[in-house]
Amino acid sequence: MTSLEFRDRLARRARRAKAPLTLAMLGPLEAYFRLLTLWNSKINLTALPLEAPTDETFDRLLVEPLAAAPHLEGGQTGGRRGVTHPSDPKVWIDLGSGGGSPAIPLLIARPTLALTMIESKTRKAAFLREAVRAVGVTASVVDERFEDLAQRAEFAHVADIVTVRAVKADPALFETAIQMLKDTGRLFLFRPSHDPSPDPSGLARVSTVQLTDAPQAFLCGYRRVFHVEQSR
């Protein structure tokens, strides 16, 4: 696949999903995809086909994160709609970053956020560090279990945003997110289908948006709920 073919196909898939994509993003997104393809032949970063990528490959790895970018507005503290404030989200933690999607494409779209990617597998963490260099973005990579990091003071209630995809949504995950989020922070879950299940303890869903339609993908946003609210 030539560079022109890659960029044309990405642009078409992004238009279909109404995902924001600028000319300045094309080079970094292609650099990420090429590096992912190279490393995936050595370590298992994704099961999606990369040598002969399908539309699902483009959507899952690149378009979903781009479509999610405008919705990462959690952590604001008031003001008129559409107005940017100094208190807008700055600190972002991605749990179980794996092959770097959605975090790296999302960071390309929102480069002012301070991203920390947490990936416990050493070889995947090494890929993430190389991808950050190749793409030309700024992010930290921590190769430890996120459940352990959540117990440390430096990760306690520091995040304006926590994102998760392809990690089992169990009580341990939600507890970790709650421990890392600021009072006004938001947890965003990337899901392959709409999930009508009850909200997890300590969190309340505030939004569900569809990111792509074929295949379907959704972004669910949650805010922290405090004991006073829960008792009402």
**Distant-in-sequence, close-in-space partners of 34: CB < 8 Å, separation ≥ 6:** none
Among the ranges given (22-26, 81-85, 179-183), the one the predictor scored with the smallest mean pLDDT: 81-85
Q: Which of 140, 136, 131, 137 is nearest to 159 (CA)?
A: 140
Q: Which of 44-53, 73-82, 215-224 is predicted with the least confidence, judged by mean pLDDT?
A: 73-82
Query: Quick one: pLDDT at residue 62?
Result: 98
Residue 17 CA, chain-centre distance (Å), reads 17
Show the domain range for 81. 3-231
Provide the domain count of the chain. Answer: 1
User: Any idea what the Cα angle at residue 84 is, between residues 142 and 105, rounded to 5°?
Assistant: 40
- CA–CA separation, 176 and 160 (whole Å): 14
Is the torsion defined by CA of 180, 183, 185, 191 positive or negative? Answer: positive
Task: Report d(CA 2, CA 220) in Å as an integer.
Answer: 35
Q: Domain with 150 in it: what CATH number?
A: 3.40.50.150
* Single-letter residue type at 120: S
What's the chain's average pLDDT?
89
Q: Region 168-180: what's the mean pLDDT?
A: 90
What one-letter code names the amino acid at 221? G
Mean pLDDT of 189-193: 88
At 56-83, the pLDDT tens digits run 999 999 999 999 999 986 444 333 333 3
Confidence at residue 225, expressed as pLDDT on a 0 to 100 scale: 87
Q: What confidence score (pLDDT) does residue 87 get? A: 53
The whole model's pTM is what? 0.88
Q: Which residue has the tokens 């480069």?
A: 111
* pLDDT bracket for residue 86 (50, 70, 90): low
Coil, helix or strand at residue 178? helix
216-224: strand order across its sheet: 139-142, 114-118, 91-95, 159-164, 181-191, 216-224, 203-213
Please report, rounded to a whole number, the percentage of residues in the chain having pLDDT higher than 90.
Answer: 74
